Amino acid sequence: MSKLRKTFTVVFMLMVCAGSLFAGGKQAAEKSDGELSGEIRFSWWGNEARNNTTIEAIRLYESKHPGVKIVPEYAAFDGYYNKLMAQIAAGNAPDIFTMNPEWLSAVAEVGGVADITDKIDISSHNPQVAAACSIDGRMYGVNVSLNANVILYNKSVADELGIKMPTGDYTWDDLISILAQVYQKSGGKIYGMPDQRMKNGLETIFPAWCLTHLGKEPPFPWTDTEILISADDVAAFMDYFNKVPKGVLLPPDESVLLGSGNDEHPVAFRKTFIGFEYAGTFAVFQSQTKDDLAMIEYPNNRKGRGNAVSARPGLVEGVYAKSKNQALAIDFLNWFANSPEAALILKNVRGVLPSSVQREALLARPELLSATDQKVSAVVNQVYNKSINPYSPGPTGVATLFNETYMRSVGAEVAFGRITPQQAGQRFIELKDEIIGR
């Protein structure tokens, strides 16, 4: 075990001992007659639309269970993971909490999330995506959004400049050529894209590039226990974007200043032409501009299949292992992830609904679907109609390895010319050994 992980374990155990008195808060256990009752907390991140619709769904569930109170706790994405891990260590985490799937191993390793195998109905969920919420065959979360990696682009800019976007198979080189045209035709006013080597989502765009451009095959980039990325893979990725034409990448001093994905988006404000995002966040970005935004799939190296896409859950909801009312938390999640009534409220605020029953209920009410909702549903369905790669949350530490302190900082060092791509590859191996172990 690395020194970093040993230190975290000692700190975690000390905090658990100090904070155990706070576990459960004001929660009450399930009534002896089986009727659900008591108070639980539910935390998530998101924009105003997600917050409002989630609260509306909570209130509907409460109306069906008069003895139940669900306390919403919502916040910005930045800092959410660190706060969650601190709450788990202190013994006062929310009864239900939202996770990126890359966090699952870390949260499970410290005993923060309950085993809910066979307690959630996933019969109408995509089986590959549902399986990605499990570790060693045990289910530790439920998928609540069917999402897809997409390229967000400014269609208004494309129309104005006469830029034709690919509608079928295409390569990364094809994409770079298009971005160079945008910079040239706009007179240098609109860059191609932010420098993704230093941005949120590096843990998704980097594997996608390797799977397509380098021809890697699953289980790349990692299994539940092993990182399969080599120093040469990292060096190749860094070097590829070092050599793109002028204007393809937003300069590093501007890229590094960009906030998280849900902040003002450079595509919406014509700073860049494209960005790499999740389809489920499209509505947020479209709301930021009067321009017409659109989405296309990632490059697939003309292989005719979705080999840039993995069965990654959009968002995972977990039940706190020390919750004093797990029965209520599990019942609510079952309803939240499967109920047609919940579907008509939630719509696509977290991405396309995870359950086919929910999707069918929503499609039966087309007046509830905005033009934006329809775009999101169309591109996600397009992606998932192709073959998709299996997904693993990876060994504990993957989320840390790719965050801003580690690999994103390494990407910034390359972008600013302070280290070479080869040095970045070696630095990746050192960080991997330090954070995850050999």
**DSSP letter string, 190-238:** SBSB--GGGSTTHHHHHHHHHHHTS---TTTTB-SS-B---HHHHHHHH
pLDDT at 392 over 60: yes
Per-residue pLDDT of 374-388, as tens digits, reads 888 888 888 887 777
Mean pLDDT computed over every residue of the chain: 88
What mean pLDDT do residues 273-280 have? 91
What mean pLDDT do residues 214-243 have? 95
Q: What predicted TM-score, i.e. pTM, was given to this entire model?
A: 0.75
Pick the closest to residue 182 from 297, 289, 271, 290 (CA basis): 271
> What pLDDT shows up at residue 390?
84
Domain ranges (residues) in the chain: 3-147+314-384, 149-308+404-435
Q: Report CA torsion sign: 23, 336, 152, 292.
A: negative
- What's the CATH superfamily of 149-308+404-435? Periplasmic binding protein-like II (3.40.190.10)
pLDDT band for position 306 (cuts 50, 70, 90): low
Report the range of poorest mean pLDDT among 1-10, 88-97, 183-192, 420-429.
1-10
- DSSP annotation string for 105-128: HHHHHTT-B---TTTS--TTB-HH
Report the range of poorest mean pLDDT among 63-67, 88-92, 396-400.
396-400
Phi, psi dihedrals of residue 61, rounded to the nearest 5°? -60, -45
> What pLDDT shows up at residue 6?
37
Per-residue pLDDT of 16-53, as tens digits, reads 333 333 333 333 333 334 589 999 999 999 888 899 99
- What's the CATH superfamily of 3-147+314-384? Periplasmic binding protein-like II (3.40.190.10)
Quote the CA–CA distance of 43 and 113 in Å, as a whole number.
Answer: 14
pLDDT band for position 67 (cuts 50, 70, 90): very high
Please determine whether the domains at 3-147+314-384 and 149-308+404-435 fall in the same fold group of CATH.
Answer: yes
